[in-house]
Amino acid sequence: MLSIDERLKTIERLPDHKGGHFPDGAHVVRVNRLPWTPFNLVGTPDGPVFKLLAVDWRREMLVMILNVPGGMAVEPHYHLEEAQGYIMTGDFEYEYGHIFAENYIGEGAAIAHSATIGKDDVLQFSIIFGGLCGVRPDGGPDLSVIVGCQAAYEMAKANNAADHIAPPPPGWKSRWQQQDN
């Protein structure tokens, strides 16, 4: 094991304008320099956009800032595992009540729901485990399209917005992609 001084000698500092990731798992995100990437679970061209901040491949967790346009009816979607969110701006209605800016929400695993966004955009900091997918007619998860770590990373990478995230380990596959639909 390296001493702190030895470890520090192995780190090449980032310039102030550039984000990046490091072999020890650390990463720096220059959030103001990240472009918004379409978050297109439901196929809406003018729908939500996101900035992917982190991916933990081992825990199958992604962290992002999500912006959902005001007035949008969010299509039903299924949470494969838990999700957490801090609402920074805007408001929305869903089965748990009217959610406002400066509210924090935690959503359980294996639930399907939708929401109606208020007149202003909802900007939220989100932590999502497992991912999101569509909903089958019987209310279960439609695993044919999953927006989890891999999909979010690929969308951000295609938009030149993932240089700060370490790529998936060789052979990595979501445990959800290994299940039958």
Q: Rounded to two decimals, what is the model's pTM?
A: 0.91
CA 14 to chain centre: 24
Q: Say yes or no to pLDDT of 179 above 80.
A: no
Q: Say yes or no to pLDDT of 69 above 80.
A: yes
Domain ranges of the chain: 43-158
DSSP type of residue 136: -
| pLDDT (tens digit per residue) in 107-134 | 999 999 999 999 999 999 999 999 999 9
Query: Residue 67: pLDDT band by 50, 70, 90 thresholds?
Result: very high
Mean pLDDT of the chain: 93
User: What does the CA dihedral 16, 163, 79, 181 come to, rounded to 10 degrees?
Assistant: 180
Fold that domain 43-158 belongs to in CATH: Jelly Rolls (2.60.120)
Three-class HEC string of 77-113: EEECCCEEEEEEECEEEECCEEEECCCEEEECCCEEE
| pLDDT (tens digit per residue) in 9-29 | 889 999 999 999 998 889 999
- Token pair recorded at residue 148: 């989890």
| pLDDT (tens digit per residue) in 136-177 | 999 999 999 899 999 999 999 999 999 999 999 999 999 987
C-beta of residue 166 within 8 angstroms of C-beta of residue 70: no
